[in-house]
Chain A
Amino acid sequence: MTSATETMDTAEPTDAPGGLRGLITNPAFGSLAIRGHFLISSLFLIVGLALLGLATAKVVWPGLLAETALFSFGRIWPMALCSLVFGWLTIGLAGITLHAVPRSLGVPLALPAFALGNLLLMAAATAYGVAVIGLGQSEGAGLGAMPLFADGPLLLSYLTLAGLVTLTARRADRSSVPLSCWYLIAAPWWLVASYAVGAAPDLTGIPGEVQAAFSSTAIIGLWIAAATVGAGYYLVSRRVPEAAFNGDLGRIGFYSLAFTWVWTTGISFQYGPTGDWFETLPIVFGVGLAVGVVAILADLAMALRGRWATVAADGPLFLFTLGSLLFGLVPILMLTQSLRSGSAIVRFTRFDTGVFIVAVVGAFTLCAMAAMAHVLDEHRSGGGGGRVLQAVGLTVFGGTVVAAGSQMIAGLQQGLTWLAIVQDGRVPVGDDFAPSVVGVRGLDRATTGSLAIVLAAASLFALWVLLRSFARSREEADRSVASLTTARLRTVGRAVVLLFAVGALGAYYLPAVDADSGPSILAERSRAHAEGSLADQGRSLYLTEGCVYCHTQEVRPIVTDARMGTVSDAGDYAFDPAGISGFSRIGPDLAHAGSRSPTDSPLWIRDHLIDPRAARSWSSMPSYAHLTDDELTALSVYVSGLE
């Protein structure tokens, strides 16, 4: 931390007010905080990518690190998700926001010392949350896996971030703010609101699933995506000062993106036990999302038109362009997932993983890297570090395309395999599930390999960030960004509240109320419905050990699931916590595991948990021998009691 004291020393004399007040408002803290955000988030990027690669490797080689509980697939997968989304993207974009908003408006950052302190809180809470998942203490699934005790500090730090940004913007002596700041001021508030929805006391059953899905969608769409776009506008307007944006496109883009993304929550429920109208929303709003993203990309592309040679030579702009290409793919892929004929084949397959990789590892990561590179590079003429950044960008881009592409092809193959098995008169469970596991191993290998390459590039980037952070950069004069698209701060504030409130009402509250139903007979008959019972303990383990990332408990009324037993309805989940219906079928569905042989036997399940390949030689399932005897019993009793 030598550079911290150095910077402070140089900055001190210029700062008039002394004492505590002088310390809090010392701008050196701000610059230190921003670089700190980048360093910490880069670390999370490396950790997240390493875990993601390890998780895919474990599907191909289930014996890998099989003895350690920490490295079981069900734990490293959510750890990777949370590291990438909360650690890398959220902390990184927070740093970019803290840098961009004051500079766009020509004012110093408000309370810079708070920004530094807040970073420490945010980083500690995120690291703690990820660690707790690894220790098997989490209570949720997906992005909701962040455990409750990490929620408080995280929410506090997100609230502080939003407060600092807004306070800074209010100080600006301007009646209106440019487009980049719309996004960057609105997004932190949306992060607070989205995270708060997820952290609110969990509802049970399908309403809880809706709540969790809405929260995850909003965190990605309203925070990560919006902040990425804001950072992109800032980046382009700073690196190409003579670029002018089109007011209408910017406006269309802002409102479409913010308004439509959360409405696509229903993608996770296609053919599921929620109301049909909820599953129609993603199709309708998916079109709006595509329009918004096209508007944003067209706006940026038209501002850069005729300067492609400059873009190719400039490191940050090059990274950003690659990221934007992938960003444009995301709404199209989401629309594919939401169309019913598409979802009938690809839902619960690796296709979803592919979309996740395109968005999070590809689009958002490249754009965030670009903005960070720009911040560390600000006012260095000639685009320093261009070569390194170009290499990083191309590697991440290529690796992402291969990794995501192989997962999506694997997903299609999985879905079509299930269909073929069903049409052959069999059911894709037990040994008949094998073709959909063995058949995609080659593709899984390709994913693992390309993720390793992405990891290498990300490590190079982190090293670059490290070196740049400690290099002294010239202090620059604050220069506000000229923009044709401006709005009053109040208007942005109204948009923040209104768009989120309407989205939450339509995509969370109403579907949750609609899906609230009394327990079905099956739910009553399931062993786990009695609280505190052995099976109930087993169900908690089912979540914390991450069984939900490979096994679904949902039978859909479509051909692929025909002959799998009673079609799931909302009442079946009445006693279950959110997340139990599962995300993917890397292993077979377990909705009615207790009604067929041999999974109706607790003893068989127990043996299977200890040595999955004894009975199923083709299985990708990791061994759960690290669980205690009691835990194994509880989990076996739960699974074998699923009616």
Chain B
Amino acid sequence: MSLDDLIAAAAEKMGMPAAMVRRSAEARAKAEGLGLEAVLADWAGVDAPESSSEDEAPEETAEAAPTAKSEPAPKPAATGIDKFVEMAAEAMKMPASMIRRSAAARADVEERSYEEVLADWAGVDVSEVQAAADEKAAPVEDPAEAPAEGTTEDTPSPAAAEGARSEDQMESEPEAETEPEPEADVPATVEVIGEATEPETPAAEEDEPELVGAGSGVPRWLSTLFVVGPALAIIYAAFLPNGPNCGDAGQLAIDPVTGIAVECDGSAYGEVVVDYLAMGAQLYEAWGCAGCHGAGGGGGSGPAFTGGTLLATFPEGQCAQHTEWIRLGTTGWPDTTYGATNKQVGGFGVMPGFGTNLTDTELAAVAIYERVQFGGETLNAALDDCGLTDDGEDADEVQDTDEVTAEAP
């Protein structure tokens, strides 16, 4: 089959213009160090890589690498192992060249021999493949002395580039063997890769440094990076919002009216929002109020708060007196009666004053807790009542902000 026929066949099979097929095939052949025919035959699905490469490869490669001419290379006979490659290709419905590469890569990863992998895929016994491989191993060994001259003369000849296909690091020793017969494409490489798993290769690498860099393949971690990196970027672009959410990475909200940066809930920046109710509840427990008035405010040795009694004594608007009562207790109370109903001081026994132990805010928080939880007043009303609203407690801080900010429109 002539080259043009092959191209035409491949073009038809792949639905691409012949010129493009030719170019791609050349590039691929160069990159993988294969014969052009081998690539084309592969693509065309013609199962004649051996015959065509045997017939035409010598001219083809001799042209590209004149060094090969001086060495009349022994033509490789179609070896047994190729049979298994094709069987595997058949079984897995993949091109033969891909099988070779994948098998080599797999063998590398699993630290098995190339033959084992191939046998697995082809569905035959390992020993058969091994036998076929060994049969080919012998004749290649003798011309192995002359590799160095063959390579140094020209830049990446297909021969040097051949190293590229044995994927990773271990190509140097096997390459020495393939060198004298650059056209020995398929069979030689196959068994060479098989041998490449032997551990002494690093030493060989040092012996022949001029071969090491020659178009080595892309390491696996790198190819992974090229897929994972852009994939992450695309996922980020697709699923994450443009711009951080308020609160992330120091992001603040912007007040729509003033244009000033504010907290995410719309309150002025830097304002501390205190949950007075929780604070009051905690203090109510901690300072023993529950002991006399009951954990639920139902009373005990002290009067009950529930059932409207609390707000009867200290109605809305009289939180100040309520707070004062907690501060002073029965002993410190200056009057004889207290509250709106003029209750007798000491009528229920002695209540201690908490003014020495609690701050004003804490006293107010206790009052708020009692009024909201037991008296039924709304939280906002209680906060207002007890003077703990935004413009009360935090007033000076907000004023600070206003001073330094622009006179906003």
Contact = CB atoms under 8 A, between A and B. Distances in A.
Interface stretch (B115-123, B312-320, B323-331, B398-406): B398-406
B147 interface: no
A562 B261 contact: yes
Interface in B352-397: 397
Contacts of A298: 218-219, 222
Interface string A267-302: 000010001110110011101101100110010001
Contact of A563 (B30, B213, B232, B404): B404
B258 interface: yes
A562 B270 contact: yes
B216 interface: yes
Interface stretch (B36-44, B54-62, B249-257, B300-308): B249-257
Interface stretch (A1-9, A63-71, A236-244, A440-448): A236-244
B406 A562 contact: no
B209 A307 contact: yes
B199 interface: no
Output the residue of A244, A248, A596 with the most chain B CB within 10 A.
A244
Nearest to A593: B406
A43 interface: no
Nearest to B232: A287
Contacts of A287: 229-230, 232-233, 236
A398 interface: no
A592 B406 contact: yes
A422 B401 CA distance: 11
Contacts of B240: 280
B155 A561 contact: no
Interface in B121-156: 151-152, 154-156
B229 A279 contact: no
Nearest to B409: A521
Nearest to B242: A276
A484 interface: yes
Contacts of B160: 242, 244
Nearest to A290: B229
A340 interface: yes
B259 A567 contact: yes
B233 A279 contact: no
B80 to A, nearest CB: 32
Given A276-B242, A280-B242, A242 B404 contact: no
Interface string A409-440: 00000000001001101010100000000000
Given A244-B161, A558-B250, A566 B408 contact: yes
Given A243-B213, A563-B401, A276 B243 contact: yes
Interface string B12-43: 00000000000000010011000000000000
Nearest to B155: A482
Contacts of A341: 248-250
A290 B230 CA distance: 10
Nearest to A280: B242
B226 to A, nearest CB: 6
Given A565-B404, A567-B254, A595-B405, A246 B215 contact: yes
Q: Which of A341, A419, A562, A569 has the most CB of B within 10 A?
A: A562
A242 B242 contact: no
B25 to A, nearest CB: 14
B405 A564 contact: yes
Contact of A279 (B30, B161, B206, B242): B242
Given A340-B244, A482-B155, A566 B251 contact: no
B237 interface: yes
A244 B156 contact: yes
B63 interface: no
Contact of B406 (A249, A425, A566): A566
Contacts, number: 174
A363 interface: no
Given A425-B397, A484-B161, A566 B258 contact: yes
A294 B243 contact: no
A285 B233 contact: yes
Contacts of B269: 559, 562-563
Residue of A249, A565, A592 contacting most chain B CB atoms (<10 Å) = A565
Interface in A286-340: 287-288, 290-291, 294-295, 298, 302-307, 340
Nearest to B153: A242
Given A284-B233, A558-B249, A425 B270 contact: yes
A159 interface: no
B405 A592 contact: yes
Contacts of B155: 241-242, 244, 482
Contacts of A285: 233
B152 A242 contact: yes
B210 interface: yes
A558 B236 contact: no
A566 to B, nearest CB: 4
A279 B259 CA distance: 21
A29 interface: no
A562 B252 contact: yes
Contact of A245 (B30, B215, B222, B406): B215
B216 A425 contact: no
Interface residues of A, number: 64
Nearest to B408: A566
A269 B176 CA distance: 56
A344 interface: yes
B409 A522 contact: yes
Contact of A246 (B164, B237, B259, B401): B164
Contacts of B241: 276
A152 interface: no
B351 interface: no
Given A562-B252, A565-B406, A280 B243 contact: yes
A390 interface: no
Nearest to B206: A306
Nearest to A305: B213
Contacts of A247: 27, 31
Interface string A539-568: 000000000000000010111111111110
B108 interface: no
A377 interface: no
B283 interface: no
Nearest to A247: B31
Contacts of B161: 244, 484
A643 interface: yes
Nearest to A566: B259
A525 B406 CA distance: 12
Contacts of A643: 406-407
Contacts of A245: 215
Nearest to B237: A284
A566 B254 CA distance: 9
Given A558-B250, A562-B261, A291 B244 contact: no
B250 A244 contact: no
A172 interface: no
A291 B234 CA distance: 13
A460 interface: no
B260 interface: yes
A284 B216 CA distance: 30
Contact of A244 (B215, B242, B249): B215
20 contacts: A242-B214, A246-B218, A248-B218, A283-B236, A284-B234, A287-B229, A307-B213, A419-B250, A423-B270, A427-B404, A482-B154, A557-B252, A557-B254, A557-B261, A562-B270, A563-B269, A563-B270, A563-B401, A566-B405, A596-B403
Closest 5 CB pairs of A and B: A276-B243, A306-B212, A244-B215, A341-B249, A276-B242
Interface of B: 27, 30-31, 151-152, 154-156, 160-161, 164, 205-206, 209-210, 212-219, 222, 225-226, 229-230, 232-234, 236-237, 240-244, 248-254, 258-261, 269-270, 397, 400-401, 403-409
Interface of A: 240-249, 252, 271, 275-277, 279-280, 283-285, 287-288, 290-291, 294-295, 298, 302-307, 340-341, 344, 419, 422-423, 425, 427, 429, 482, 484, 521-522, 525, 555, 557-567, 569, 592, 595-596, 643
